[in-house]
């Protein structure tokens, strides 16, 4: 498993290298955006850890460039904690966003989540933890028990489950569940997230990232 670190701070790269190599990653490093893109093209890492404050180009531009030809999981590492920056990164293809300073244990756990194989949209089922969604029949099972869902609850749950462990932005959810008429109607999300929490009964967690979006988590990992 190869991880590419794109960060201009040598101390951060050393810290990440130690954390990742202790978990059997092969680590490659780049101190600029252009070098990072070259490394990604030549060595095809399984995951990229990307800083936004690079010396030669903004990290968001690196992300956009990378997404033109690669779907490698990307974890953003940045001191920027503004909501609009996080949303922009996620909407441009980042899989997760961690603010510096960070816990290496949390970072490695998030890497594991974004690297898990996910079912594509054309798969007959979505499975995450004890949740199983049969896309053909629109049936939802949790720990083997069928759950009754309204069409909107079902669409909301599918949108989260397809990206289990990953933040799905408010805009993505509104567009996927309600279409264009949902633009800006963030109160829809609060209402239906609460409906789903009651039906999931704590066996799966719908976590709110305030101002950004929601993610579906398995409480047992």
**Is residue 111 located within the same domain as residue 156?**
no
Question: Does residue 167 contact residue 212 with C-beta atoms inside 8 Å?
Answer: yes
CB-based contacts of 124, cutoff 8 Å, min separation 6: 134, 135, 136
**Is residue 12 located within the same domain as residue 111?**
yes
**Is residue 195 located within the same domain as residue 165?**
yes
Q: Is residue 120 part of a domain?
A: no
Q: Is residue 105 part of a domain?
A: yes
Q: Is residue 80 part of a domain?
A: yes
pLDDT score of 122: 47
**Is residue 13 located within the same domain as residue 93?**
yes
Q: Is residue 158 part of a domain?
A: yes
Q: Is the pLDDT of residue 192 over 90?
A: yes
Q: Is residue 161 part of a domain?
A: yes
CATH number where 169 lies: 1.10.10.10
**Is residue 129 located within the same domain as residue 66?**
no
Position 180 confidence tier, pLDDT thresholds 50, 70, 90: low
126-161 pLDDT, tens per residue?
Answer: 888 899 998 878 899 999 999 998 888 998 999 999
Among 83, 115, 147, residue at a domain's last position:
115
Among 55, 87, 115, residue at a domain's last position:
115
Exposed/middle/buried for 82, CB within 10 Å: 0-12, 13-18, 19+?
A: exposed
**Cα 79 from Cα 75, distance rounded (Å):** 13
**Is residue 11 located within the same domain as residue 92?**
yes
User: Number of H helices and number of E strands within the chain?
Assistant: 8, 12
CATH number where 27 lies: 3.40.50.2300
pLDDT score of 215: 93
**Is residue 177 located within the same domain as residue 93?**
no
Q: Is residue 173 part of a domain?
A: yes
**Cα 52 from Cα 43, distance rounded (Å):** 21
**Total structural domains within the chain:** 2
**Is residue 111 located within the same domain as residue 38?**
yes
User: Residue 2: beta bridge partners?
Assistant: 26
Question: Does residue 95 contact residue 73 with C-beta atoms inside 8 Å?
Answer: yes
**Is residue 72 located within the same domain as residue 99?**
yes
Q: Is the pLDDT of residue 93 over 90?
A: no
Among 115, 136, 158, residue at a domain's last position:
115
**Cα 197 from Cα 206, distance rounded (Å):** 7
Question: Does residue 110 contact residue 75 with C-beta atoms inside 8 Å?
Answer: yes
**Is residue 7 located within the same domain as residue 91?**
yes
Residue 146: other Cβ atoms inside 10 A:
11
**Is residue 133 located within the same domain as residue 53?**
no
Give the domain extent around 86.
2-115
The model carries a pTM of 0.62
Q: Is the pLDDT of residue 118 over 70?
A: no
**Is residue 74 located within the same domain as residue 129?**
no
pLDDT score of 50: 97
């Amino acid at each position: 498993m190869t991880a590419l670190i794109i960060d201009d701070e040598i101390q951060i790269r050393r810290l990440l290298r130690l954390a990742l190599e202790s978990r059997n990653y092969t680590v490659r490093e780049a101190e600029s955006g252009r070098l990072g893109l070259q490394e990604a093209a030549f060595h095809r890492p399984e995951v990229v850890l990307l800083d936004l404050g690079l010396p030669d180009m903004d990290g968001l531009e690196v992300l956009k460039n990378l997404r033109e030809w690669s779907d490698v999981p990307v974890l953003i590492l940045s001191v920027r904690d503004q909501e609009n920056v996080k949303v922009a990164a996620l909407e441009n293809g980042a899989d997760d966003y961690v603010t510096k300073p960070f816990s290496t244990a949390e970072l490695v756990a998030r890497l594991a989540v974004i690297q898990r194989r996910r079912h594509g949209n054309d798969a007959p089922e979505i499975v995450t933890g004890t949740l199983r969604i049969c896309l053909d029949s629109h049936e939802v099972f949790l720990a083997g028990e069928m759950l009754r869902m309204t069409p909107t609850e079902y669409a909301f749950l599918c949108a989260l489950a397809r990206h289990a462990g990953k933040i799905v932005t408010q805009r993505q959810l509104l567009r996927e569940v309600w279409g264009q008429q949902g633009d800006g109607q963030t109160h829809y999300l609060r209402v239906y997230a609460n409906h789903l929490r009651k039906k999931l009964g704590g066996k799966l967690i719908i976590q709110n990232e305030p101002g950004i979006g929601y993610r579906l988590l398995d409480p047992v990992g």
